[in-house]
Structure 1
Amino acid sequence: MPRWIMGIVCALLLATGASAAPGGMTLEQIAQTRAVTQAQISPDGRSIAYLLSVPRTLGVDPDGPARSELHVVDGAGTTRAFITGKVDIASPRWLPDGRSIAYLAKREGDDTRRLYTIPLQGGESTVAAQLRADITAFDLSPDGRQVAVLAVQRESDARKALRDKGFSQKVYEEDWRPVELWITDIGGTGEPRRIEIDGSVQSVRWSPAGDRLAVVVTPRQLTDDTMVDARVRMLSVQGRELGRVDNPGKLGEMAWSPDGAHLAIVSAADENDPREGRLTVVGRDGGAPRDLLPGLEGHVWNVAWRDASTLVFLSQEGVQSRLAEIAVTGGEQRTLLPAAGPVHMGLSVAPGGAIALVGSTPAHPSEVFHLASGANEARRLTDSNPWLADVRLARQEIVRYTARDGLELEGLLVHPIERRGNARVPLVLVVHGGPEAHFSNAWLNSYAQPAQVLAARGFASFFPNYRSSTGRGVAFSKLGHGRPGMEEFDDLVDGVDHLIETGLVDRDRVGITGGSYGGYASAWGATYYSERFAASVMFVGISDQASLVTTGDIPYEQYHVHMRAWPWEQPDMYRQQSPITHAQKSRTPTLILHGEADPRVPVMQSYMMYRYLKLAGQAPVRLVLYPGEGHGNTRGASRYDYSLRLTQWMEHYLTGRGGEPPAYEIDYALPAQAAPAR
């Protein structure tokens, strides 16, 4: 008898291990949670400018993504709100004199996104640079008098006139406009000057020596090119090419040394490395990057300079982060903050050695932290969600287990807030995407993974870092190459078995969920491993590998760092590792959700999964689509709807009556008087 039918018979028995805990977190609180996204320390090290993500109020504000506000906090923790409300501030940077902050925004009345500056001591923002197109990124000259800006090439007047007449056709992968590099005076006192570059510019860094620019260029403005074909060029300020960097594969952050003699680059080890994470250095004229940490079993994602001979970096290691420094010549590292405590994901260093960090813990989302020069502990400066102090949170712990082939793995377990004696509890297995990503021992609560909400309702949640995850070095992240979903997803089941063996989890009440590659895992759990999962929630996931690589926007990335073969070279592998191939095995009630505008994993993947399961007819299946959303939901209403449907599905099939799916209409319980759209 299928488990979803047995659920009707056994509902009362199943409910005994899970109950709602008063005082726990709610989905509405997750929907209103604020988080720091960027932090930049001032040149004198006394102030930190940061961006605060502020969700819109559901049912009151017009729907849309979270707002991005500009705030400043000093070393004592005193915060000043600089630009708040209906704003979307990006890329805050201090001017070299430390008296003003530059930022990008499209403010009321603007027809394009512009570069603004605002004085630290208060006052109105002024336009620092503008073009006839949106500015997407910038970097200031060392003296603060000029700025290098990036903007997508403006549509020609002739093309716009034709489009206005109805000729709106698009030529796939050919009809693209490059991102251009411009140099202009701060304040717009001179005419902007375009730098001629063959290709499309992705980022720019102005050398502190003032004589050159490090520019990341791709052949085309296509997502695949930005992942596999991005290369660094050295240009004079006039645009003459001075050298190139022989960087392989994916690229991350870049940072010039204070004397302009070296450029630090976070890079991939080779073209088959799934994720940038090697800390490398080149000279001012480019050449071959030199890896400063060749044996690192982790991933460096953030880098800065303490002085002309010392780099500071953040390394993600396992489920923790570590802050350290190393000489430009290599050698011994010096750990500044060990791999314990808050997990940091952002880094900014002042000339005097003070450091700003963005970090979170299991008890709070991302906040601003400050590490004084010479100190051995970072101090938290902001509290963006003071209401969390009154919320009862479940225990979160690191779990280590052994896969069936002997590989040592780890993950994070969020316990239910309340557990009746030694009663086994239902489990939601949350699978990260990528697979070149990982979970950290930090805040694990979002619209797609509401761990603390589930904990308040009697569930445990498990977040495994299966093979192919980041945080454990290049070799570990390559373990799934050419074998997608094989041993990788066996690791997931082995983690569940470990929790069953400890006596915590009820093996008949396990659900699986995740997005992107995690959605692929959820589809795999609902088909190939159906006997192990009583519910599945698949988000923007993969159902057919061959059609994914031929319709998604990153076919070459898929080839280099995942499949390592084309569909015509290994058709059996593509077929066998596609969940639709195993649809007839499914006895798992499956909820499928997808953004209709997803370019990465096109929505047809979910249509195919739905139709295969529907035609197989062995278990309930539902498909929910989000118009206008892409590879993940960004708007508040879409996120809230997703959270409600995820938790409803898991409760219905893991602790509820099971059987036919719950009603598809959702009671959102929004405020009675919603603000009119404007």
Structure 2
Amino acid sequence: MTGLTAELVVDGRVPQTPVLAPNGHLLCFVLAPISRVGDHLDTALWLADIEGDGVWSRVTADIATESQPRWSTDSRSLYFLSDRAERDSPQLHRLTPADGVVIALTGWRAGIVDHLPLADLNLVVLLANDEPTAQDMRRARDRDDAIVVGEREPRARLRLLDLRTGQVITPSVFGDRHVVELRQRPDGGPLAVLTQASADKDYGPRTGQLHLFDPTMGTAEDLGPVEVDAQSLAWWPAEDGWHLGYVALTPPVLHAGTAVFDLAMSSRVRRNRTADLPMCPTELCQTDAAPLLVFANALNTTLARLDPDGPTPLSQHPGRLDALTTTPAGKTIAALTGSRYQPTNVHVGTPTGPLRKITDTRPELDKITFGTQRPLTYRAVDGLDLDGLLVLPVGKSASDGPFPLVTIVHGGPYDRYADRLQLFSFPSARAQWLATAGYAVFLPNPRGGQGHGHEFAASVAGRVGREEWTDILTGIDLLIAEGIADPDRLGIAGGSHGGF
């Protein structure tokens, strides 16, 4: 076994955004560097037939930022964004896996923000800002990137690309609203479209509106406002017709737990489908029937199906389960996950599990000795159940203490530490690095965070920095009492909210 080095922490490549083809045979993912060298993040697409030989091959060879792979509904084409022609100006490209040919489909001067291939194989929806004016281009050359509210705000608009003609049209819908996300109904019907009044990351999420868009007629219908931070749209059929769901913060306060909101299209009645659950939904994944639902559940993750009577748990997964993708029938899934001592990779399987690892993007870590990581559970001074993680110095056990202890507080505060390898994600990347240097590391999940339901998260609204700080001190006191932490050698760090 060998030791961890700084180069291993900051170098290497990680998988992102896996996407299963509708036929369930092909899977594509983005391979991205952990650290950027220079002005650009150079990524690549990798593809394999997971039902065949399972051999991965790189399908894009250019030096470029390539992202957001999406399959056509017939699995014959893979669409993705690439700035290979002009850096920082991503355009839509199409790969035909049968012959490996890649062609550029757009030359939109502002670049493409996102895209969605439709059930009509001749149409692709694009999200893109307006093309730059001469003044915009001058500002870009001068590196004048200031955003002036109400005057120079970028807004992604919905546009339609006709693959037969190459023409891009911009329907006169949604006014000056910024389009955030869209999802087509599984039967090829209308698109659900989520918009905001602004692309500003603080103000915009508070101004969400939901719409329907008919790509054939080019018409739109407003469905009204949505809760704060709405995202992860999904359709599903029910006895009373189609339903449209999304994940958003539970009203009425801005600091709250997430919930799944269900809008019945026939009655336009909206319901919170995850109220009072002791875990927090993070992602809805559309299928042809009931959608799949990912929950942050304490230090781990629960995968469920959203049935008429509520979420039905299907499987439990250690740590996190991110970027879930599924076949239309919902029989095969793929996602990014790892373990305490294994980095994140693409895993595939059935919703009921288990999942098998099909990529190995960091083999150089296989012989590294990591510090022992264990979950902690304890009670706050007012009796509230809390959890967190403890990483011991490399080669040491708890009985070898006391050790110098560094506590690293997560941001948010609506975030969490999950029971996964604490090596790459900021700021917990320091945990195993500090363990290599002989420190014990405490990663607390105080009240206000994710993974314990809405009431746990909302308990700090109007009280930030009070009981949550006491929660952290209680965990440190516990580690001192157990002989793990040296009371004369304590340090603390944090990023964003965790920094103050």
Same fold (TM over 0.5): yes
> What SS does the aligned partner of 1:387 have?
helix
Find the partner of 1:397 among 362, 374, 382. 374
Aligned twin of 1:37: 16
Q: Which string of whole-angstrom CA distances, capped at 9 and with x for unpartnered residues, describes residues 131-189 of structure 1?
A: 232110111211221111111223333x3487599996967422224221111113653
Deviation at 1:109, TM superposition (A): 4.3
Aligned pair 1:174/2:153, yes or no? no
Find the partner of 2:467 among 487, 491, 494. 487
Aligned pair 1:53/2:32, yes or no? yes
Aligned pair 1:72/2:47, yes or no? yes
Q: Which string of whole-angstrom CA distances, capped at 9 and with x for unpartnered residues, describes residues 280-300 of structure 1?
A: 222347834322222222111
Aligned twin of 2:357: 380
Structure 2 unaligned residues grouped into runs of 5+: none
Letter in 1 for 2:150: E
Aligned pair 1:478/2:448, yes or no? no
Greater RCO (Cα-Cα under 8 Å, separation 6 or more) = 1
> What SS does the aligned partner of 1:368 have?
strand
Aligned twin of 1:214: 192
Letter in 2 for 1:173: V
Aligned twin of 1:467: 447
Which structure has the greater CA radius of gyration?
1
Aligned twin of 2:336: 358
Aligned twin of 1:598: none
Q: Which string of whole-angstrom CA distances, capped at 9 and with x for unpartnered residues, describes residues 332-374 of structure 1?
A: x432212x4353112111024111111121112221111137x
Deviation at 1:312, TM superposition (A): 1.1
Aligned twin of 1:27: 6
Aligned pair 1:231/2:206, yes or no? no
Higher share in strand: 2
Cα gap change, 1:372/1:419 in structure 2, threshold over 3 Å: closer, same or farther?
A: closer
Aligned twin of 2:96: 119
1:44-443 aligned at under 5 Å gives the runs 44-55=23-34, 62-64=37-39, 66-73=41-48, 74-75=50-51, 77-84=54-61, 86-109=63-86, 112-157=89-134, 159-160=135-136, 172-175=148-151, 176-186=153-163, 188-198=165-175, 199-237=177-215, 238-257=217-236, 261-274=242-255, 277-284=258-265, 287-308=268-289, 310-327=290-307, 329-331=308-310, 333-338=311-316, 340-341=317-318, 343-352=320-329, 353-372=331-350, 376-419=353-396, 422-443=400-421
- Check whether the contact 1:140–1:206 (CA below 8 A) recurs between aligned residues: no
Q: Which string of whole-angstrom CA distances, capped at 9 and with x for unpartnered residues, describes residues 266-308 of structure 1?
A: 1222141535631222234783432222222211112123433
Aligned twin of 1:507: 487
Q: Which string of whole-angstrom CA distances, capped at 9 and with x for unpartnered residues, describes residues 72-111 of structure 1?
A: 2324642222225632111111111112211111113478
Counterpart-to-counterpart distance in 1, 2:12 and 2:220: 46
Deviation at 1:506, TM superposition (A): 0.4
Deviation at 1:465, TM superposition (A): 0.5
Counterpart-to-counterpart distance in 1, 2:54 and 2:137: 53
- Check whether the contact 2:59–2:100 (CA below 8 A) recurs between aligned residues: no
> What SS does the aligned partner of 1:227 have?
helix
- Check whether the contact 2:46–2:57 (CA below 8 A) recurs between aligned residues: yes
Deviation at 1:511, TM superposition (A): 1.0
Q: How many residue pairs were aligned?
A: 489
TM-score after normalising by structure 1: 0.67
> What percent of counterpart residues are identical?
24
Counterpart-to-counterpart distance in 1, 2:232 and 2:303: 16
> What SS does the aligned partner of 2:43 have?
strand
> What SS does the aligned partner of 1:496 have?
helix
Cα gap change, 1:469/1:169 in structure 2, threshold over 3 Å: closer, same or farther?
A: closer
Aligned twin of 1:584: none
State which drifts further: 317-326 or 162-171.
Answer: 162-171
- Check whether the contact 1:362–1:441 (CA below 8 A) recurs between aligned residues: yes
Structure 1 unaligned residues grouped into runs of 5+: 1-21, 521-678
Counterpart-to-counterpart distance in 2, 1:442 and 1:280: 29
Counterpart-to-counterpart distance in 1, 2:286 and 2:142: 52
> What SS does the aligned partner of 1:517 have?
helix
Counterpart-to-counterpart distance in 1, 2:383 and 2:129: 50
Deviation at 1:440, TM superposition (A): 0.4
Q: Which string of whole-angstrom CA distances, capped at 9 and with x for unpartnered residues, describes residues 216-259 of structure 1?
A: 11122322232211121122224433241442222121123379
